[in-house]
Structure 1
Amino acid sequence: MGSARGLRALLDHRENPMTSLRTAAARLSVPAPELAAALDTVRFAASTDAELPMLGGILFDIEGEELHVVATDRYRMAVAQARTTGHGGPRTQVVVPLPLADAMRALLTGEEAVQLAVDDDRVTLETGNRQTAGQSLGHEFPDYRRLVHLPAGRRAHVDTATFRQALETGPVRASETREQDGEPYDLSVFRVTENGSVIVCADGDDDQNNVAVNREFLLHALTAGARDELILELGAPTAPLAIRRPDDEGAFSLLMPVRLEN
């Protein structure tokens, strides 16, 4: 079995252009439920690798009336968006460290709009009489926009609960070893049939259309998808697997499959 190199290569800061962060002052309002949902959608994909400090946060990308939030650890990526009002300035991008992003999420319990402010390297969230603030990460972030419009692939609509149960109770392939920490992980192997259904494959099933992914990562992506039905989009065998929402394709996850060697 080969390693999951494709998404890492596309996002590797040593080899590819980074998002050029623009951290001019910005003030805007965001509906609390939308910002909460966006953070919940991407949080699982953020990196905890101390050797990749630029990925130890969530990118807030503010442009026009949209806020995109993005997280990646190079093995997976998640993108979500929320509506905003009040931002009339230039595009503003800032990487919010995970502790601050988590503190922000803890304040997003109501239905009202909250106030988000960026002042150079300081980020503040105000909701009612509560506030949390901190310094942004002083690092550039991989240019996620290069991956947003991947070539369309084969699509399969899945019932999330049914697919989750099939993954949790179904067979796994022999554990691989993660490059970043040397720990083993399990692979789930599945394929999309001609009628659009998804089959979790047994060991020994070597159909050329099989796709293998880190099972834990896929289960996390299903949870973050937060829908009863999700769409799996499969491109080339080495292309990222996209997990999309039927009603909101602005929010999605990408997972890099692991190449199976027969």
Structure 2
Amino acid sequence: MLAALDCVLVEVGADEVVFVATDRYRLAVRTVRPVEFGGAAGRVLVRADELAGLSRWAAAGEVVELEIRGEGAVIVRDGESREIALVDAEYPAYQGILDGLAPPVCRVVVDRAALRAALEGREVVAFDIGSGELRIDGGEPLEVIGSGAARLGFTASLLAAALDVSVGPDVLLEICSQDRPVVVRSADQGTFTTLVMPVRLDG
């Protein structure tokens, strides 16, 4: 299991390609639509650091091909190919976590950059959400759009990391309780989702 946590799960199929990563405190899921698909659906594990390096190279191409071949995989961009090793390990059952989420009691959209800036230099932060605003540690309010009210805590670095990899100017926060994962979605890109565990607040 520990080896799997250093990896990204890649699930390929005719309708979608899903990338999943977790470190036990966060779970990130990104879904993209393939332009073309051939062969059989399947799932493979690749080392996260290796995939991160290749993703920067692949991003320079307009179309990228992923070919899975036995114990390895090949990424092709503009006629140039790079090999990537596969990891044989058991990955956490992430879909059960997603399916087990309760309906949110609080659901708000907030400016991603403003929220990220408010977390800078902090360790544990207290969120108070309600009446169209979000206050962090009782500070200046951030405007939010949505419904519901909630008070909960976060490890600032974990939430900041989720915001850093989100897409677009706004993020959607879906909160079901103080002790259950909070869903962080790119407000204009619903195919990217991160789950972040809140922390207990004193008092």
Q: TM-score, normalised by structure 1?
A: 0.67
The answer for unaligned runs of 5 or more in structure 2 is: 140-148
Separation in 2, partners of 1:190, 1:139: 37
Any conservation in 1 of the 2:110–2:172 contact (CA below 8 Å)?
yes
Any conservation in 1 of the 2:16–2:34 contact (CA below 8 Å)?
yes
Match 1:106 to one of 33, 37, 56: 56
Who is 1:192 aligned against? 129
Match 1:247 to one of 179, 185, 188: 188
Alignment of 1:152-191 (within 5 A): 152-153=103-104, 154-168=106-120, 172=122, 186-191=123-128
Q: Is residue 2:179 matched to residue 1:228?
A: no
| Deviations 1:99-142, CA, capped at 9 Å, x for gaps | 33023213223352111011122011011232211321110111
Separation in 1, partners of 2:61, 2:79: 14
Who is 1:25 aligned against? none
Equivalent residue letter for 2:108 = A
Equivalent residue letter for 2:137 = C
Any conservation in 1 of the 2:61–2:78 contact (CA below 8 Å)?
no
Equivalent residue letter for 1:118 = I
Who is 2:102 aligned against? 151
Alignment of 1:209-228 (within 5 A): 209-228=150-169
Any conservation in 1 of the 2:31–2:192 contact (CA below 8 Å)?
yes
Q: Is residue 2:77 matched to residue 1:141?
A: no
Higher RCO, Cα 8 Å, sep 6+: 1
Aligned-residue RMSD, C-alpha: 2.1
Who is 1:22 aligned against? none
Equivalent residue letter for 1:189 = A
* Alignment coverage as a number of residue pairs: 192
* Alpha-carbon shift at residue 222 of structure 1 (Å): 1.1
Any conservation in 1 of the 2:128–2:136 contact (CA below 8 Å)?
yes
Alignment of 1:74-113 (within 5 A): 74-113=24-63
* Alpha-carbon shift at residue 196 of structure 1 (Å): 3.2
Higher strand share: 2
Any conservation in 1 of the 2:126–2:201 contact (CA below 8 Å)?
no
| Deviations 1:222-256, CA, capped at 9 Å, x for gaps | 11113211111111111101111222222111110
Separation in 1, partners of 2:165, 2:52: 15
Any conservation in 2 of the 1:156–1:198 contact (CA below 8 Å)?
no
Q: TM-score, normalised by structure 2?
A: 0.86
Any conservation in 1 of the 2:17–2:33 contact (CA below 8 Å)?
yes
Classify the secondary structure of the residue corresponding to 2:191.
Answer: strand
Separation in 1, partners of 2:42, 2:178: 36
Any conservation in 1 of the 2:170–2:188 contact (CA below 8 Å)?
no
The answer for unaligned runs of 5 or more in structure 1 is: 1-12, 14-51, 173-185
